[in-house]
Structure 1
Amino acid sequence: MSDKISLKGIWGFGYHGVFDHEAKNGQDFFVDLEISLDLSKPSRSDNLAETIDYGSLADLVVEEITGERVQLIERLAGRIADRIKSGHPEITAIAVTVHKPKAPVSAQTSDISVTITR
């Protein structure tokens, strides 16, 4: 099945990172979701109960960004993916990309991100 739900640029302010200043000062994080599932029923019925509520997905992501601190964005992406997948058995695949545009690296970058696929 090639049906997908995508959410891009879900924003939250979190305190994730390896360094003490990241835990103290925090920074912006952005998350993209790409979810594969069969959307044939809701495409015919026009019934929200037969699909995944995008608003609840976005709220879950913000909860994770603003919640318990992790050191690695790999861990943050994995937690988001696992939590969404466990709550929605109809999902056949999920890709979660966590963007950390202000990651403390010596080179100038426009973005650093990690994508986890389950």
Structure 2
Amino acid sequence: MGNVAVTNIKVYAYHGCLPQETLIGSDYRVDVEVGADLTKAAVSDNLSDTVDYVQINAIVKEEMKIPSKLLEHVAKRILDRIFSEISMVNTVSVSVAKINPPIGGDVESVSIKLTAHR
């Protein structure tokens, strides 16, 4: 077993419950960590034997383009796509952070984290 992490994926997207959030948009940061058996890749040195982090990044960017009211909903879609498209993945952890949220205070970010197992 091993882990592949893609961290600090920066995306501009249009999520939120307030009308201005889906109109103006905001900066987001997404972190993904997947667990899989990486033993074969460690020996073979072949991309086909591991989890392709380029594919993870593409999934995140595509799902972040689809507006949602809740960050949990976006994270769940990312989890589902990773499990659907990358069969060797056994666990997925996705963190989605809204940078500088419009909550009337000096807050760097708000974030949620979902973890799921196959």
Shorter-chain TM-score: what band?
over 0.9
Matches within 5 A, 1:97-108: 97-108=95-106
How far off is 1:45 after superposition? 0.3
1:62-111 residue CA offsets vs partner (Å, 9 max, x unmatched): 11112x21000010111101111111221111000001012221332222
User: Which residue does the alignment assign to 2:86?
Assistant: 88
Distance, in Å, in 2 between the alignment partners of 1:60 and 1:90 is 16
Size of the aligned set, in residue pairs, is 116
Contact in 1 for aligned 2:101/2:108 (Cα 8 Å): no
Task: Report 1:57-72 matches (<5 A).
Answer: 57-66=56-65, 68-72=66-70
What SS is found at the alignment partner of 1:30? strand
In the alignment, which of 85, 103, 111 is matched to residue 113 of structure 1?
A: 111
| Alignment partners' CA distance in 2, 1:65 and 1:87 | 17
The runs of at least 4 consecutive aligned structure 1 residues that moved more than 3 Å come to none
Unaligned segments of structure 2, at least 5 residues = none
Letter aligned with residue 106 of structure 1 = G
Secondary structure, counterpart of 1:115 in structure 2: strand
Structure 1, unaligned stretches of length 5 or more? Answer: none
Stretch deviating more after TM superposition (107-116 or 73-82): 107-116
Q: How does 1:42-81 map to 2 (within 5 A)?
A: 42-66=41-65, 68-81=66-79
Farther-moved stretch of structure 1 (37-46 vs 56-65): 56-65
RMSD: 1.0
CA distance in 1, matches of 2:58, 2:80: 15
Tell me the secondary structure at the aligned position of residue 83 of structure 2.
helix
CA distance in 1, matches of 2:100, 2:14: 12
2:22 maps to which residue? 23
| Higher fraction of strand | 2
